[in-house]
Amino acid sequence: MAIEAVNNSRRTLLVLAMSIIFAQSVFAQDDNEINIEDIEITEATAPVCFGFTDIADVRAQEICDALQLDENVKARELSEEWIQNEPESPAAQFAIAEVLFSVEGNMPRALFHLNLAEALTNYDSAESAFNSGNVQWHYLTLSQLSHVHQLMGDQLKSLEYLEKISEIYDIDMESSRGWPLIKLKQYAAAEESANRVLDNSDNALERARAWNTLCAAQLASLKPIASTSACDLAVNEEERITDNSNNYDTVYLTNASEVSLSLLQMEQAENYLDRATQFLNPNSVADPWIYKLFLTLSQGRFDDAKNALDRMLVWRQQQKPIVNVMNRAEHFLVAASFLMVAGYSEDAIKLSQTALNQPDRNGSYSADDDQKDSFAALLSMIANRTEYQIQMEKLATEDFTASLFRRLKANMLRLDAWQAERRAASLFADFEVLQNRLRPYAPLDVHIPEWIEPEIINLIGTGVMSTILEQAKKNGAFQLNEGYYYSYLTEIETLENNAESLIDAGEKALENLPQQEVLLRARISMHMAEAHWSKSNYNESLNYFELAYKQDPSIIRRLETSLPIFFNGDGTDFSNSIESYLRKSPRFKHDINGLQLEIKSSPDLSICLKSRTGGVLSCYTIPTAENQSSKWHAQELTQLFHTNAFGLGHQISKAQRSILLGSSVILSSQSNRNLRNSRDAFLIR
C-alpha cells in the first residue's frame, strides 16, 4: 500500500502556506487587533515558488522558473552558483537541496544541505523566524526534512520535525503523522491520529490521508476486514471508488486493487489496475504495470505478462527521478520474476541482486526495507538455482574438457544460491513476520507472489513452519480460502517425504484454491505427480505431470526435478546421439511408463515431448545446416529444445534486458529533451 508522497507534500505546502502568510500579517500588525472576518481572501495570481506566492528573492525565482520549464541543468547550475556565492544563506541551501531531491532523486545529498539550512535557521519561535526574514525558508526546511526522513526510513525523525513545525508555527500537522506511525507499526496510534483528523478537519486532502491511514490500520490484522469503507473513502467522502473521474489517481486505484486482492476479489483487483493504467502519471509512486505484471504472471497469462513488462518499461522511463528511487526495487523484482519463468535466469539474478544492493526509498509504502530485502534474497536464491539447472542441461551435451568452465560456473551458482538462501532465512526468521507472510496477498507487506512463498518453508524448516502455519490458521489468515493453507501443508509434506499426507493435502489445495492461481496450482500438481509416481500410480502421476507442465513449463527447473519419459527414436546415429544427451539431462528420467520423447532426423531434425496418447506438449525443429557436423546438430538441437520446452517461448531482446537493468536516473535524463546534450546533468556527488 502506498501514499502519494510527492504531490501530496507539495499540495500540503500550499494549504499550510496560507496559514503562515496569515500569521505573518498578525506579527506585522501586532499593535492592532485583527478579526478574521475582516480579512479579504483573494485568489492568488502570483507565480508559485517552492509552494509560496510571495518569495521575493530573484535567484529563487529563477530556479523555480527553470524547474517549471524542466530546464533541470539550468536549475542545478543556478543553485550551485548561489550556494558558492552565499554558503551561509539558508535559502541557497534549501534551493540546492530541492534540486537534488526533486530533480535528481539524490536524497542523502539533499538531506546534507537541508541539515545545513536548519542549522542556519535554528529558530525556536515563529516571531524570531519572521523577524529574521527567513520564515519561508525555515518552514520549508523543516517540512522537507520531515518528508525526506520519512522516505529514507527514519520515521521517528519525521515525526520529530512534524512536532517542531506544530510547536513553532502552531499549525496542525496531525494529517501527516498517520503514515509514519503506520511505518512504525503503531497501528492503534495511527488510527487515533486519523480519527482526530476526521473529527476536526474539513480539508479534503487531510481527510483523504486520514482515510488512507485508517484503511492501512484496519488491514494490519491477520483477519480479513469486514468492510472496505475506509479504503473506499481514501480520496474523500464524495468521490467514490466507482466514479471513473478518479482514474487519474494512480495510488488510490492501486491501493484499491491491493485491498481487493487481500479479499481475493481478483477480477475487481485487475479492474482497478486497468483503470490506473489509462493515464501515464510520472509523479506517482505507484506504477500499476508492476502489479499488473505480478497478477498476470501468477495467473499463467504469459502473453499479458509480457505486454505488462513492455508497458512497465515505458512507464518507468517517464518517471521523475525522485519517484524512481522510491520504486526501482519493485521494478527489478517483478521483472526478475518474469525473466526467471521465461528462461532468462541470469538476468533475473542480476536484477534481484541489484534490488538487494539498492533497495527502494520506500517511505511511501507500508512495506519496509527488510521485507523488500527478504523477497530480493529469496528471488536471488531461486534464480541462481534455476540457472544452475540450465547450466547442467547444457553440460549434458558437452565433452568433459569442453565443459570445465561451465562446471566451474555451475559450482559458483550453487554457492551464490546458498549465500542468498542464508540471507533470506535470516530476514524471515521472525515469528510475526512469517505469520503475516502466510496470509494470502497480505496488503501491508511487500508482494511476494503466492507461487514463490512456499520456498520459505525450506528456508525456515518444516517444524517451525508447521507451528506458524497452524497459528496463522487459528488467527484467521485463511478465513477466505483454506486452499492456501493446504498449499503450504502440501509443501511441508513434500519436504518430509510423506506421500499419503501430501496427496491428501494437495487434493484439498487444488479443490479450494482460486482457478487464477495457475503457477501455485502447477507447483502443487508437480508435487502430486511425484508422490503418485513414488506409489507406482502411473496414470494419476502422468496426468499431474502434464497438468503442471501445461500450466507452467518452468516449474520443472525451479523444483529441480525431472519428467519420466521413454525414448521413441528413428534408429539413426543422430537420434541415438540425441538420446544419449537427453539421458544425461537433469530434466528427464528414463522409464517405460513415462511420457513419450520422439526424436526424428528427417525431413528436419526434431524433438517432441508428447503425452501417452500422443498429444504434443512441446516440439522443437531445426533445419540441417551446411558445413556442420552431426554432433554439432545434436548438441544444438538438444540445447534449443531445453530452452523452448522449459521456458515461455518469449524472445526478450538483449537491449530490453539491458534497459531493465539500466539506471533509472540515466533513462529519465535521456528522455528529457533538455538533457540530451548534457552528460553531467545528473551527476551524483
pLDDT at residue 607, rounded to an integer: 95
pLDDT at residue 680, rounded to an integer: 30
pLDDT at residue 42, rounded to an integer: 43
CA–CA distance, 438 with 222 (Å, rounded to integer): 9
Are the C-beta atoms of 441 and 264 separated by less than 8 Å?
yes
- Looking at domain 1-171, its CATH class is mainly alpha
Residue among 314, 315, 269, 313 nearest 292 (CA): 269
pLDDT at residue 80, rounded to an integer: 94
Distance from first CA to last CA of the chain, Å, rounded?
Answer: 32
- DSSP letters for 338-353: HHHHHT-HHHHHHHHH
pLDDT at residue 74, rounded to an integer: 94
Q: Where in the chain is the domain with CATH 1.25.40.10?
A: 1-171
C-alpha cell at position 394: 547444457
pLDDT at residue 365, rounded to an integer: 61
Q: Where in the chain is the domain with CATH 3.30.160?
A: 563-645
Are the C-beta atoms of 51 and 6 separated by less than 8 Å?
no
- Looking at domain 332-558, its CATH class is mainly alpha
CA–CA distance, 49 with 678 (Å, rounded to integer): 25
Relative to beta strand 588-590, strand 563-568 is: parallel
pLDDT at residue 662, rounded to an integer: 63
- The domain 563-645 is classified under which CATH number: 3.30.160, 1.10.3470, 3.30.70, 2.60.40? 3.30.160
- Please tell me the total number of residues recorded for the chain in this structure: 685
pTM given for the model: 0.83
pLDDT at residue 12, rounded to an integer: 46
pLDDT at residue 439, rounded to an integer: 86
Are the C-beta atoms of 339 and 302 separated by less than 8 Å?
no
**Mean pLDDT in order along the chain per 10 residues (685 residues):** 50 44 43 44 63 87 91 93 94 94 89 95 90 91 93 91 93 89 88 92 84 80 64 60 63 84 91 90 87 96 94 88 82 94 94 82 64 89 96 92 89 94 86 78 83 94 93 89 97 96 97 97 98 96 97 96 94 93 95 95 92 93 87 93 90 81 44 34 25
pLDDT at residue 602, rounded to an integer: 85
Sign of CA dihedral 213, 214, 217, 223: negative
Q: Which residue's entry shows cell 502570483?
A: 46
Provide the Cα torsion 331, 334, 337, 340; round to 10°.
Answer: -30
